[in-house]
Structure 1
Amino acid sequence: MWASLQWLVLSFCVITMVTYIASIPQYYTSMVTTCILHGCGTSVPALTMPAQGLTLENYALLLVLIDCAFTFVYYVTSAAMLWKGFREPMGLLAAAAMVAFGTTFPSLAIVASEGHFLAQQWFMLVSMLGWISLSLFFFLFPDGRFVPKWTRSVFLIILAVDVLQFLYRGQVWSRFDVPEFISLLWYIGSTMILIYSQVYRFRKVSRPTQRQQTKWVVYGVSIGFAGFVGMSILFDPTFNDGSAAAFVYLNAILNLLLTAIPVTLMLAILRTRLWNIDPLVNRTLVYAALSVCVILLYSIIVLYLSQVFQTRDNFLVSLLATAMVAVVFAPLKEWLQRQINRLMNGRHDDPYSVLLELGNQLIRPLAPEAMLDAVVRTVKDALRLPYTGISIGVGGQQKMVAAAGEPVNEVHSFPVIHRGEEIGTLYVSSRSPGEAFTPEDGKFLDVLLRQAGPIVENVNMTLGMKLLAKDLQESREKLVLAREEERRQIRNNLHDDLAPRLAALALNAATAQKYVEKDPEAAVDMLTDLRQVIRSTVSEIRTLVHDLRPPTLDELGLTGAIEERIRELSKPAELLAAEQGNEPLRIRLHAPLPLPELPAAVEVAAFRIVVESVVNVIKHAGATSCMVRLDLPSAYKLTVEITDDGNADGIWTAASVSGKGGIGQQSIRERAAELGGYCTIERLEHGGTRVFAVFPL
């Protein structure tokens, strides 16, 4: 089936080409004998021959060459598509469309086939197939699907109209008395639907490579359509003198503009080295606008000066008009180029004026976050982007601090670097799906990001200060809560434990007082019991005070308190080693003397960590040596290190079982963290455990 379709298309193209080439002599003869002087229907109007200039035969030859050159371009592109895309459905469809349209659009085929029934019917059939295949191609290109789906119904309407044109020999509009403006609206509307389907596919469906193909197709069709409409207006007798020379010029320009369709179509179908079309579109718009402006300006100047000098066809008037146009040509071209650039890509070609406008916004009293809002809005508006945003690192996490628009397309990131450090990231969205940023865009962003660096750093510092202020407020709240919790605990201890004991002492003293006279011996026994209760109460008070802060810290200082505690712990360690027949544990303390005055909280935390670590070594490590080291590496930091040569597994196992009891690894770390320091507990390579804590002073 597919092979049959391939050979059918190839046969159609060959037969059409041979028939067209065979009709060229007849076309030349018709032009010389009839068409130029008397006209040939709607194909060639009757033309006037200038008194001086080319002969009738020369004009006929020029018209034949123009039509043949036009058809030759279509045939060459069709042959290239058949050669490279013979196995692809879109390639076959495009080749057939190019052969059919390139054959029947010029007047050659229609004029040469007059009086030859078979040739005329064949060219009418080719014309119908040309419009149908061309419309079908633009609805299906590049993936072979109707997008959007309702275009399938539009194609069926186009198909029906083209079939009726074939059946009524191209006179369907006159047969049904359809006004000319209705037929014109039909041609314009159907062409616009073809272009819309490609634009819709480009924006909603196509992949990046397909989008580049679509750009070429839409560009070629737009050039051909605009040229066809504009030249059709100029073909009207009211806009030209009806001479053969004018007809030759207009026909040549029209055919030249329509050759943009097969050339761009071939580039899109073959896809080999699919060049970027944006610069070409840019230049086309600039020179098209420049040509229109120059023509209008020249015409206005000539008309005005003709009225002033009350003359027409004056050489001086033409000379003055030409001089004025020449003076304004360069500034006008530069202004048009700048406007087209801004229309397509924004103001990337003028970054310094954008920076000036941004600076005028930033000199106003704005909050740092509002400054970044101004930056992202400036980038978005200057480059005509759908989305821009800036994120910075706050508290170890990336936070989007300013954004404008919605990221509808691919988002690209650019680092914001200041003083050699990346302090943020600029995110920008492509203008259209799959569109890359140009080198001019990159230069613009580079210049702008250099100026945005200090602003981002200022915002970063501001947000960091706010975060620190928030942390400080939370710390204050936690401190107040901890202080009140500690006060409540002390109050409960005093109320529930110490107060009843004191009340009992008072009651026992009153009872003993009564027995002094009646039974002195009983009073003595009561006073003895009272003395024991008093001693026990004093011990309880000392324990309570010791829980708040070890008294030895106030009496002996941190070093002395640790030495005293080490002496107390060494005795049971020696007894335990003697019972087990092991080598006794030697605990040594190394500390600079004298230690400077330390904050009370640091002294308590260091003392607790040392005592708990040493107790853990005695109970679980089975060590023979333990070193406690206090050091001041700077005036703002105290380090505490406890190392042993015992069994590290015993410590880790006991710690995991005991949880908060005993040493409690989590408790040790929390004591250091509460004061803004840190504590690590690690196994040593040669055996043993190392507890290392750092306290800021």
Structure 2
Amino acid sequence: MFAPAYPATPGRYYNRVMDKTRGYQLLVGLFFAVTAALYINCIPAYYDRLLTQCIPSGCGVSVPALVLDTEGLSLRAAALILVAVDCAFTAVFYAAAVILLWKGARERMALTAALAMAAFGTSFPSLVVVASENLAFERYWFLGVSAIGWISISLFCLLFPNGSFVPAWSRYALGIIVLVDAANFFLGGNVWDRLQLPEFLRFAWFLSSTVLLIYAQVYRFRRISTPEQRQQTKWVVYGVAVSFIGFVAISLLFNPAVYGTVSNFILLNAALHLFLSAIPVTLTLAVLRRRLWDINPLVQRTLLYGALTVCVVLLYTAVVYYLGALLGGLNRFVVSLIATGLVAAVFAPMKEWLQRQVNRLMKGRHDDPYAVLLELGSQLMQPIAPHAMLEAIARQVKEALRLPYAGIAILVEGRETVIAEAGERRQGRQDRQDVELQGYPIIYRGKTQGMLYAAVRSAGEAFSAEDHKFLEVMLRHAGPLVHNADMLQGMRRLAEDLQESREKLVLAREEERRRIRNNLHDDLAPRLAALAINAAIARKHVEKDPAAAVEMLDELRQTIREAVQDIRSLVHDLRPPALDQLGLIGAIRARMEELAKPARLAGNEGDDGGDGDDGDEGDDGGGKPPLFEMDAPETLPALRAAVEVAAYRIATESMVNVVKHAKAAVCRVSLALDGEKRLRIEVVDDGIGAAKLGEGPGPAGGIGTLSMRERAAEIGGDWGIEWPEAGGTRVWAVLPLQEG
């Protein structure tokens, strides 16, 4: 191929495609017209040969020699009915071809389907084979039509509905089909006889090629097709499957020992053509209708009445044969009457049983939810964990309704999490839509405990009323189990949080021990060692140089004071001394005075016009210091050391934040007993509150805030910070007075 001299625009590309489609349409239309004309021209010749040769003597495998009924059809009537059956069969295929040419003229798949219908409807009946046997042109034309029919219908099944070979290797299978049909054409339609191949190979070839076409459609349906294409594929597969099963079943009966007379042969021939007529009807619907009717009820009825017919025939035959052998001298009419009565007696229960089996085959056991619950109950009576119980429910729903997927989800830390599932939850792809999931809430005691997710059987299919009834029954019994599983998940999370808290406490304790050890080893221990050395040196100078000894003793006293101060700092870090001296309430009051004094001094110096000194903990803005107030009971019960330290640290850290960041006028600290089990602490100010949220290291979540939260959590308490709409900040903590 040569590249065009100019870029191909979308309009030009569309025109080229349309030109090719019109050419294809003209070829199909011309082929159809010539073939139909030759077919009509062969009808009289076929009728004549039936009268003169085929029925009396036979015409090969097309029409065997037939025995006329003694009191039944005449020769002319039998010939006329055989012609009518073949013409009716061809008329159905021609009608489908005309509709496809008319409605689908712009679609290549529709044109391919029209070609297949015209060719197959012409070549399959015995009419053209028998009538053209002595006509050279017509004979080779119809041989070509037969080859085109099998090739085009194979091509259609391998390409429908999107025009690509799926699976990819099916194109090579099509090549083999083309070679076999082309060889059959060049060998005069007798490729099997010319090659002297046994009959079973011919049947194996027909069986394998038909199974290939059905497999290609099923594979495409499960892996590639969109919901709309799946609905189209259902119709094609249904028509091909019905035709294939009917053809195989009836072909086994085409034996003179079975059909006997011409009347039975005509009935079998008509039934065979009727089964094959399903192909043009379903194929035309699939090609031309974009929104097809649901085919599942039709499939169910086909399976039901097909199985019912087989059972009735087998039962009737068995009863007649048994009674005939048992009562050999009895009148045949009486035997038939007895057999008919038995069949009529068992017809209704047989139909009901078959209906139930077909329903379960197509949709599972949705019509018997209580039997499913009984089976589920027997499983849940075993000693299994709640998680395994939920998996059993999901598996039972999937298997009972024949669904691809079922799962149960609950909320875990605010996120919906699937905790039990059965089946495969396929992920969607860009080139096709995934099977939809339907969600059903699991309610227990008026509260939604979770969700049951069930995937529909195929895309675009909805659950029936029986399915919803079944799911409603299952959901009622799943509620308590999901509730127990949710509680178990909560207990596991609490256990994990407790374990994490314990690990943090151990790490914090070890870090504190390492800090004290380092301070003692690196700072205090060298100072004490230096004191011993200095004391020894001073002792030597007492007699020799008293003045130097006095100077050294003064330095030694200063060093001892610094060491004592370091020891006090270590002790203060472990537990504030004020708690032991003044108690919790007194220690907090003392801390209030410490915080207010430097801030007040800074404020007084500012009023005098001096430079002022903010101090270590003064107001960053240099404003007026807050007025501290305290609301506490006269006495508190004996508190655990950990609770006392945590309460003191939370209260004092909150007051420091008020002084540093809040610019408050009043800060009120409240201590209260909440019954006999908890101590409640509140620090409330009227400062800038939320206005400072997120600025600097203040109440927005700095180290002090984190420290207060951890101190409350370490002893099993709660802590929080709030910014009321009226302004200010409220820090609160609730600490347990007792352990456990």
Q: TM-score, normalised by structure 2?
A: 0.82
Q: Where does residue 443 of structure 2 map in the other structure? A: 417
The residue correspondences of 1:491-570 to structure 2 (distance < 5 A) are 542-570=568-596
Q: CA deviation at 1:351?
A: 1.8
1:456 alignment partner, one of 473, 476, 482:
482
1:109–1:123 contact (8 Å) kept in structure 2? yes
One-letter identity of the residue aligned with 2:99: A
Structure 1 residue 225 displacement after superposition = 1.4
Match for residue 278 of structure 1 among 296, 302, 310? 296
Distance 1:392 1:648 in 2: 36
The aligned residue for residue 136 of structure 1 is 155
- The alignment partner of 1:378 has SS state of helix
CA 48–617 in structure 1, closer or farther in 2 if over 3 Å, else same: closer
- SS at structure 1 position matched to 2:292: coil
Specify which of 137, 145, 159 is matched with residue 178 of structure 2: 159
1:2 aligns to 2:28 (yes or no): no
- Once the 2 structures are TM-superposed, how far is the Cα of residue 198 of structure 1 from its aligned partner? 1.9
Instruction: Please tell me whether the aligned partners of residues 395 and 467 of structure 1 are also in contact (alpha carbons under 8 angstroms).
Output: no
Distance change in 2, residues 1:576/1:652 (3 Å):
farther
SS at match of 2:667: strand
Residues 690 and 729 in structure 2, CA contact (< 8 A), matched pair in contact too: no
Determine if the alignment matches structure 1 residue 100 to structure 2 residue 126: no
Amino acid at match of 1:383: L
Which residue number corresponds to residue 692 of structure 1? Answer: 731
The 2-side partners of 1:519 and 1:160 are apart by 127
User: Any conservation in 1 of the 2:538–2:552 contact (CA below 8 Å)?
Assistant: yes
Q: Which residues in structure 2 correspond to 1:676-691 (within 5 Å)?
A: 676-680=717-721, 690-691=729-730
Distance in 1, matches of 2:185 and 2:520, equals: 112
Q: 1:348 aligns to what? A: 366
Deviations, residues 225-247 of structure 1 (Å, cap 9, x unaligned): 11112222222101111x22212
Q: Deviations over 1:574-611 (max 9, x none)?
A: 22112223874341315253475465544433433443
Give the structure 2 partner of residue 220 of structure 1. Answer: 239
Gaps of 5+ in 2: 1-19, 428-433, 608-621
Distance 2:54 2:309 in 1: 33
Conserved? CA contact 2:685–2:729, under 8 Å: yes
| 1:129-159: CA deviation from partner (whole Å, max 9, x where unpaired) | 2222222222222222222333323322322
In the alignment, what sits opposite 1:50? 69
After TM superposition, the structure 1 = structure 2 runs for residues 107-146 of structure 1, keeping only pairs within 5 Å, are 107-146=126-165
1:209-358 matches, within 5 Å, as 209-241=228-260, 243-311=261-329, 314-358=332-376
Pair 1:667-2:693 in alignment? no
Residue of structure 2 in register with 1:604 after alignment: 645
Residues 313 and 97 of structure 1: is their aligned pair in 2 closer, same or farther, counting only changes over 3 Å?
farther
Amino acid of the residue matched to residue 333 of structure 2?
A: F
Q: Please, which of 358, 371, 393 is the counterpart of residue 389 of structure 2? A: 371
Q: Percent identity?
A: 54
- State the shift of 1:13 in Å: 1.4
The Cα of 1:319 is off from its aligned counterpart by 1.9
CA contact (8 A) 2:228 2:290 kept: no
The one-letter code matched in structure 2 to 1:91 is A
The answer (yes or no) to whether the contact 1:590–1:629 under 8 Å persists in 2 is yes
Cα distance in 2 between the residues matched to 1:264 and 1:295: 28
Which residue in 2 is equivalent to 1:627?
Answer: 667
SS at match of 1:627: strand
Contact 1:610 1:642 in 2 (8 A): no
Q: Which amino acid aligns with 2:729?
A: R
One-letter code of the match for 2:127? L
Q: Is the 8 A contact 1:386 1:408 kept in 2?
A: no
Classify the secondary structure of the residue corresponding to 2:448: strand
Q: Distance in 2 between matches of 1:329 and 1:433?
A: 36
Distance 1:172 1:354, change over 3 A: same
* 2:216 is the alignment partner of 1:177: no
The two structures, once aligned, show a CA RMSD in angstroms of: 4.0
Distance in structure 1 (CA, Å) of the matches to 2:73 and 2:363: 48
User: 1:439–1:599: structure 2 CA closer, same or farther, 3 Å change rule?
Assistant: farther
Judging changes above 3 Å, is the alpha-carbon distance between structure 1 residues 189 and 312 closer, same or farther for their aligned structure 2 residues? Answer: farther
Aligned to 1:200, the other structure's residue is in SS state: helix
Distance in 1 between the 2:547 and 2:351 partners? 127
- Asked whether 1:475 is paired with 2:507, we answer no
From 567, 584, 591, give the equivalent of 2:631: 591
* 8 A Cα contact 2:655 2:683, kept in partner: no
How many pairs are equivalent?
Answer: 691
Structure 1 residues 239 and 452, CA gap change in structure 2 (3 angstroms): same
Q: 2 CA distance for matches of 1:20 and 1:651?
A: 92
Per-residue CA deviation, residues 325-376 of structure 1 (Å, 9 max, x unaligned), is 2222222222223333333333233221111011011112222233233223
Q: Is the alpha carbon distance of 1:571 and 1:631 closer, same or farther for their aligned partners in structure 2, counting shifts above 3 Å?
A: closer
Distance (whole Å) between structure 1 residues aligned to residue 193 and residue 539 of structure 2: 140
